[in-house]
Amino acid sequence: MNDLQNQVPQLDAAHSWESRAEKPIDRRFFEFQFEVAKILSRRSHAPLNQTVGKYAPFIIRNLLKPTEAISGKPEEIPDNILPEIMLDAAYKNYTTIGVSDRPIPYHEGRRFGCFAYDYHDKENAVELHFFNAEFDSIGPLSTKKISARRAEITDVMKAIRRDYPEAIEVRGRSWLYNFDAYQRLFPESYISHMTPDKDESSWIHGTRIWGQFMDSDNHLREDMTEKFLASVQVLPVDQLMSALPAPPMIVSGPITDFYKFYGIE
């Protein structure tokens, strides 16, 4: 996308956006993810590097270079990162270079507030992403924030309508689609096509699954972790998603319904 495409006029939600610095993720969240990888390593007799590569995205992301972390290949973990220092090395890298202290702007590239998108040319499809870029004391999906989130999606859709008029479909994959607080932001035709995400590779995609174990302050939700860890100890590995409080879902719908829902002509 060129510079002209990044210059979006009249952003609906920009005027109400309060830029705040990023809140660092709690170390206990890294410890939790690492513990899951260790349990699965013991149970499957697989090398820890392998289970970290498959189930601990926040560990591997901070051990590899960004271009390597996208693939998440266990063998790409540097040889000098031994199992006993893996957790410490990952969290040190995260706190040293992975956290920015600059205020987060409303619009950056394909992100508008808490929503961002990717565009898949071959399918003429838009993939929506959500993450808490507000770093506010009030959760981003609270009732008080509905109008802000709707305005952000409006800006996303306006940008897509302008830059990718050939787009025909909107897609999403996240644990958030289990909740009314998130569903209410989308057209009924989008939510009604919701199916469970059974793709095992989803474990390594950042917050697609793991986000449910963090609160809006990026602290570990310890009330949820104990039960999940107990399930990891006994469930077959290919059934781990059944132990999640909110299994990831896949959704899709016509982009024309989004344009209608958000009054975009």
Helix axes 83-93, 48-55, angle to 10 degrees: 30
What is the pTM for the complete model shown? 0.88
pLDDT reading at 75 higher than 50: no
pLDDT reading at 98 higher than 90: no
Q: CB pairs under 8 A, 24+ apart, for 137-141?
A: 137/216, 137/217, 138/216, 139/215, 139/216, 140/114, 140/216, 141/176, 141/179, 141/181, 141/182
pLDDT at 4: 38
| Structural contact between residues 118 and 127, judged by C-beta atoms closer than 8 angstroms | yes
Q: DSSP class of residue 89?
A: H
Do residues 168 and 89 share a domain?
no
Residue range 42-72, pLDDT digits in tens = 999 998 988 998 999 999 999 875 544 444 4
> For the chain, what is the domain count?
2
Instruction: Enter the tokens of residue 45.
Output: 């007799």
Do residues 112 and 98 share a domain?
no
Do residues 131 and 186 share a domain?
yes
Q: Report d(CA 14, CA 113) in Å as an integer.
A: 8
pLDDT reading at 214 higher than 50: yes
pLDDT at 63: 87
pLDDT reading at 132 higher than 50: yes
CB atoms under 10 Å from CB of 110, counted, come to 19
Do residues 65 and 192 share a domain?
no
Q: Report d(CA 171, CA 87) in Å as an integer.
A: 34
Residue range 191-210, pLDDT digits in tens = 998 999 999 999 999 999 99
Sign, CA torsion 79/84/85/91 = positive
pLDDT at 32: 98
Establish if 149 belongs to a structural domain: yes
Range of the domain at 30: 18-103+222-236
Do residues 231 and 253 share a domain?
no
Residue range 136-172, pLDDT digits in tens = 989 999 999 999 999 999 999 999 999 999 999 999 9
